[in-house]
Amino acid sequence: MIKSTCRSPRARSVVLWTGMLALAALLAAPALAQSNGTVQIGGSVSPAVKFTSGGAAMLTGNLGGAVTTQSAADAALATVVNFGDVGPGNSNAYVCFNQPLYLRANGASTLSAAVTAESFGAGVSDVHKSDIGFGFQNLAAGGPNASIATTTITAAYNADPCAAAKDPDGVPSYSASLASVGTAAPGTAVIVSTGPISLRGNFNSQSNEADVDLKLAIAPQNYTVGAFSATLTMTLTSP
């Protein structure tokens, strides 16, 4: 006996609908799109420093002489000073030079100095580098975005050469002088050590610098008649 394999029209309809539903499900799958994504971000901050003039320099106790070239606040330091007559004809205790400075740094840094292009006599009575006292005074935060909590002046330079004690002959005893620093920039002696000074803002900000005064002094005495000169170069660097 042979069985018939023919399906009824109703059965064929059910199979057809089932196939169409399966195809619709396959076609609908790509519509399930991704709804999020990521971007990885990275960067770094490199150490940076800025060293500039803090404004007009002053010269006191001088007989003749003057600050002949000034450096404006926040401009490159390029001041020129002539101490004038420092012989016995000047009766002042000291000829004292004061130059405000600005220091900016976003990390650790050091300030050093060197004396170059010098012209001093070699005789006992000539003006020598050791006759010009050298100090840093009045360290202060220059605004609300500055910190000097981790900034220090090396002890030998943290003294006012314009107030140095003198022996009975009137010869001063300086904690540091131009003879204390190197003869090639940037110099080897560390004068100021800093941590982060500038906490916010860029290096043109007027509120994130450390203020400090450079002071130079010479006591008028019976030096050998003649002239002397030198260039003092200070350099702020990050390690």
Report pLDDT digits (tens) over 49-103. 999 999 999 999 999 999 999 999 999 999 999 999 999 999 999 999 999 999 9
User: Which residue, 195, 219, 197, 196, is CA-closest to 208?
Assistant: 197
* Alpha-carbon gap, residue 227 to 44, rounded angstroms: 52
pTM, entire model:
0.85
Per-residue pLDDT, 8:
56
The pLDDT-based confidence of 7 (bands split at 50, 70, 90) is low
Cα separations (Å) of 64 from 52, 57, 60, 126, 200?
27, 16, 10, 20, 44
Task: Indicate if the pLDDT at residue 9 is higher than 90.
Answer: no
pLDDT digits (tens, 9 = 90+) for 190-220: 999 999 999 999 999 999 999 999 999 999 9
Task: Indicate if the pLDDT at residue 227 is higher than 50.
Answer: yes
* Alpha-carbon gap, residue 13 to 4, rounded angstroms: 18
DSSP the chain: -PPP-PPPHHHHHHHHHHHHHHHHHHHHGGG-----------------EEEEE-S--EEES-BS-EEEE---TTSPP--EEE-B--STT--SS-EEEEEEEEEEESS-EEEEEEEEEEE---STTS--GGGSEEEEEEEEE-STTB--TT-EE-GGGSS-GGG--B-TTS-B--SSBGGGSBSSTT-S-EEEEES--B-SS-TT-SSS-EEEEEEEEE----PPSS--EEEEEEEEE--
